[in-house]
């Protein structure tokens, strides 16, 4: 054999050995499709919880005479943010107006559904209130949600608060 033929055979052998490393018997590999298993898990958990796109959720929490209202507005794209929160407390109502600004015409935004969270805390007198949340996006009213809450804070004087504090020191 000539030198050229030997080099050609060596080059061919090296090429085949590297190529053989890439060949895998799929029956022996036991490989799972990772993308499919992750997709099925994510389908169960929507991005905005149970809210549909362009809807707002409302959750209320009452502690003593403090009302906390929180939730999420489910925007149809990225680039949305709360610009102004207006809270109007009436005799039997709490109105929360959320002004959300989204991307303007010609501005770039992601096309991913985006949650816009909000939280408002107010101190109220005893009573039953109708809590209403309304959302406007770029000046256009988009969604509303409401819930009724009852505030029943106990009126404790200084002596009763001192007695409660003192009894808490000695309770086991």
Give Cβ neighbours of residue 167 (< 8 Å, ≥ 6 apart): none
Average pLDDT over residues 118-141: 92
Average pLDDT over residues 87-99: 94
6 pLDDT tier (thresholds 50, 70, 90): low
CB atoms within 10 A of CB 112: 10
pLDDT at 76: 86
In the predicted structure, residue 107 carries a pLDDT above the cut 70: yes
42 pLDDT tier (thresholds 50, 70, 90): very low
Residue 100 or residue 8, greater confidence: 100
Average pLDDT over residues 42-63: 77
8 A C-beta contact, residue 146 and residue 132:
yes
129 pLDDT tier (thresholds 50, 70, 90): very high
pLDDT at 18: 53
On the CB side of 131, CA atoms within 13 Å amount to 22
pLDDT at 41: 45
pLDDT at 33: 46
The whole-model pTM stands at 0.61
pLDDT at 36: 44
CB atoms within 10 A of CB 32: 7
């Amino acid at each position: 054999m000539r030198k050229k033929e030997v080099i050609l055979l060596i080059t061919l052998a090296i090429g085949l050995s590297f190529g053989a490393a890439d060949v895998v018997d799929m029956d022996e590999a036991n490989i799972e499709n990772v993308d499919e298993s992750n997709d099925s898990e994510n389908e169960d958990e929507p991005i905005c919880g149970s809210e549909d796109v362009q809807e707002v959720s409302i959750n209320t929490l009452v502690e003593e005479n403090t009302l906390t209202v929180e939730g999420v507005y489910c925007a149809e794209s990225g680039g949305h943010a709360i610009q102004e929160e207006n809270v109007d407390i009436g005799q039997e109502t709490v109105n929360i107006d959320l002004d959300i600004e989204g991307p303007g015409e010609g501005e770039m935004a992601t096309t991913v559904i985006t949650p816009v969270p909000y939280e408002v805390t107010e101190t109220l007198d005893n009573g039953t209130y109708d809590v209403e949340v309304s959302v406007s996006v770029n000046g256009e009213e988009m969604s509303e949600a409401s819930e009724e809450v009852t505030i029943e804070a106990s009126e404790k004087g200084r002596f009763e608060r001192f007695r409660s504090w003192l009894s808490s020191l000695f309770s086991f």
